[in-house]
Structure 1
Amino acid sequence: MAQHFLLSAAARTLSLKAIYKAGEEAAYEAFCKMRWPETDGDAICPQCGCCETYTITTRRKFKCKACAHQFSVTSGTIFASRKMAFVDLLAAICITVNASKGVSMVQLSRDLDCQYKTAFVLAHKLREAMATEVQTGEVLSGHVEVDGAYFGGTIRPANLKADRVDRRRKEHQNGRRRVVVVMRERLGRTLPVVAMAEADGVALVNENVSRMATLSADEASHWDMLHAGWSVDRVNHSEVYSDHGKHTNWAESYFSRLRRMVVGQHHHVSPKYLHQYANQAAWLEDNRRQSNGALAYGLVQSAMGAPVSRVWKGYWQRVA
């Protein structure tokens, strides 16, 4: 029997031990190389694009020779205004990619010895960086599976049986229930979108799936509309999960990871930020066959290429 990839040595190319043993300078150089890969870590002015800069070693900053603009390796990136050491940032990224079902913010704050608020914002910034790889705007092609799953909005049942209501009915829900509609290529990309109802997935398929593609969906009646534009395989899950190659197992695999992330690790996810957790699960699914070192440095590169987060920069100052 073949060994699972995650159990092999090839899946383990980075560790917290190696990160802290290499030290702060090595982590800083890694961030520089991810920010400016075309010059192998030599600074490029983000304001005028000049490659000639002075290094201000006492403050880890650079000064452009052309426009005199001062900047750091994280200026204009998702890590702008960061206070955490680079070795701790790299360790946080390592912990994040190692957790295949996500990691709770309490656990992350304990591992990094930082405040819960710091871990919370940092994790969401990393999810925002992951989303740049997931939400690319490119249409899906080949054979695409589409499905939906509901998250949140559960109300606690009454103590007495006589007082209990049917929690499935709309009038007995709290309005925080959302559905994640996923469109997933077999052997390809995963694209999740958060909506109010699974039927909204029909419009999402029209926007994000090529007309040359073929589809797989379950027996839900709203997917009947897809037959007008695509060749669609349907599978009745009340009778069988796979019928001679007709299945939505790739989409179900994604939901399996997302449910364990939401229920098992975070226990509660606000509908306001559900899309970020959905994107993280998609990113983990699409990169599940890469080593943790490749994942970590790939995430660093995505974060250094992402702009300043307008949602998470100064988050606690706004909501406090």
Structure 2
Amino acid sequence: MAQHFLLSAQARTLSLREIYKGGEEKAYDTFKAMRWTDGEPVCPKCGCCEAYEITTRRKFKCKGCYAQFSVTSGTIFASRKMAFVDLLAAICIFVNAVKGISALQLSRDLDCQYKTAFVMAHKLREALAAEVAEHELSGEVEIDGAYFGGHIRPANFAEDRIDRRLAKHQTGTRRVVIALRERKGRTRTFVAKIEAEGVEIAKRIVSRMATTVYADEGSHWDHLHDGWTVGRINHSEAYSADGANTNMVESYFSRLRRMVAGQHHGVSPKYLHQYSAHAAWLEDHRRRDNGGNAMAVVANAMAHPVSRVWKGYWQRNAA
């Protein structure tokens, strides 16, 4: 099943078709090349570059500390059980979905358990988020926030319905995604309880040499004037005026809203930061072909250390 999707729907470049034709060995070589660019295995335990291969088990043994390791040891795919060709198929399906993919759909495509697909997708999101974790925004930067979650289902009978706008009736699961986006650059996202926290976030990640920071007329953005030249746009009057707009960040929120509503139907605040980072990565690389995106995800996954969130026991409490 996974190989079928890799060939027919996801692998649209020559390199991915060649990997499919080569089967498991070709996929293994791809992961190996992404892990060690010069082809020489490096022990993740001691850093020694001298190791010999145990060909019967696709493992290596370090000549320095005698530890055994595989191509995925110490990466996001550590202790993996899926075949390499299925991992590659999962990545191709994952990046091909322009507005995300649900774990249930991914599990059906790969013919694996829902929990396997759920954890794998979140591991990939964690690796993608690490790509911009240390990136400082510069140039022209747009900032805005959008609220997600906390929906209260109205009662059936009109006399039983409550005013869902009141604080006492809130569920406590509503969060705001604060997005900061460079024009013609990268997007960084954060999850907070109130939008005003975005000012402190901007102070941490936006360069003081940034040309202009653009925001709407929300009063909480007034403090941005203390650090940068700020362009403001009043959305009750216009969406863009004299170059002042937040259209790029609104474009990102459009993708994220459709991801949450159309694919996942609801997102726990516990994992909202990973879904928002996933949407940001898709938005930043929307013009790159699927093959390039797939190889970039493989490289990110092989460079990312073992996940401390998605390792060990199943995530029982999603609240």
Does TM, scored on the shorter chain, surpass 0.5?
A: yes
CA offsets per residue over residues 119-173 of structure 1, 9 Å max, x none?
000000000100110222x321111100000000010112233333332222221
Match of 1:97 among 83, 95, 98: 95
Return the match for 1:225 from 223, 230, 239.
Answer: 223
Q: Which moved more, 1:225-234 or 1:242-251?
A: 225-234
**SS in structure 2 at match of 1:316:** coil
Instruction: List aligned pairs for 1:195-206, cutoff 5 A.
Output: 195-206=192-203
Q: Which residue of 1 aligns with 2:306?
A: 308
Instruction: Give the letter aligned to residue 208 of structure 2.
Output: R
State the partner residue of 2:105: 107
State the Cα distance separating 1:272 from its structure 2 match. 0.4
Letter in 2 for 1:296: A
Contact kept? 2:20, 2:26, Cα under 8 Å: no
Contact 1:181 / 1:192 at 8 angstroms: preserved in 2?
yes
- The amino acid across from 2:197 in the alignment is D
**1:23 counterpart SS class:** helix
Q: For residues 19 and 266 of structure 1, do their structure 2 counterparts lie closer, same or farther at Cα, with a shift above 3 Å needed?
A: farther
Q: CA deviation at 1:46?
A: 1.6
- Segments of structure 1 that go 5 or more residues without pairing to the other structure are 1-10
109, 123, 139: which one pairs with 1:142? 139
Q: 1:132 to 1:118 in 2, by over 3 A?
A: same
C-alpha distance in structure 1 between counterparts of 2:163 and 2:136, whole Å: 40
Structure 1 position 17, deviation (Å)? 6.1
Cα gap change, 1:15 to 1:109, in 2 (>3 Å): farther
- Residues 116-131 of structure 1 mapped to structure 2, 5 A cutoff: 116-131=114-129
- Matched with 1:30 is 30
Q: TM-score, normalised by structure 2?
A: 0.91
Alignment equivalent of 2:75, drawn from 74, 77, 82: 77
Q: Which amino acid aligns with 2:124?
A: L
Percent of aligned positions that are identical: 70
Amino acid at match of 2:44: P
- Aligned letter for 2:32? C
**Alpha-carbon distance in structure 1 between the residues aligned to 2:304 and 2:65:** 23
Please say if residues 146 and 183 of structure 1, whose CA atoms lie closer than 8 Å, have aligned partners that are also in contact. Answer: yes
Which secondary structure state, in structure 2, belongs to the residue aligned with residue 158 of structure 1?
A: coil
CA distance in 2, matches of 1:277, 1:189: 16
TM-score (norm 1): 0.91
Q: 1:268 to 1:315 in 2, by over 3 A?
A: farther
Aligned with 2:184 (options 176, 179, 187): 187
Shift of 1:177: 0.2
Give 1:77 deviation, angstroms: 0.7
Aligned pairs for 1:169-180 within 5 A: 169-180=166-177
> CA separation of 1:296/1:115 partners in 2, compared to 1, >3 Å: closer, same or farther?
same
1:235 matches 2:243: no
Distance in 1, matches of 2:311 and 2:263, equals: 24
Closer/same/farther in 2, CA of residues 110 and 203 from structure 1, 3 Å limit: same
1:50-109 Cα distance to aligned partner (Å, 9 max, x none): 222211111110011222111000111111110000000000000011111001111100
| Matching residue within 187, 209, 222 for 1:212 | 209
Q: Partner of 1:259 in structure 2?
A: 257
Query: 5+ unaligned residues in a row in structure 2: which ranges?
Result: 1-10
- The size of the alignment, in residue pairs, is 307
Residue 16 of structure 2 contacts residue 291 of structure 2 at CA under 8 Å; is this kept in 1?
Answer: no
> Hey, what does 2:7 align to over in structure 1?
none
1:7 is matched with which residue? none
Distance 1:155 1:171, change over 3 A: same
State how far apart, in whole Å, the 1-side matches of 2:132 and 2:97 are: 18
**Alpha-carbon separation, structure 2, partners of 1:130 and 1:14:** 24
Moved more, 237-246 or 14-23: 14-23
Aligned ranges for residues 274-285 of structure 1 at < 5 Å? 274-285=272-283
* Cα distance in 2, alignment partners of residues 195 and 258 from structure 1: 16
**What does 1:61-76 correspond to in 2, within 5 Å?**
61-76=59-74
CA distance in 2, matches of 1:65, 1:200: 51
Instruction: Check whether the contact 1:74–1:304 (CA below 8 A) recurs between aligned residues.
Output: yes
User: 1:287 offset after TM fit, Å?
Assistant: 1.3
Q: How far, CA to CA, are the matches of 1:16 and 1:27 in structure 2?
A: 9
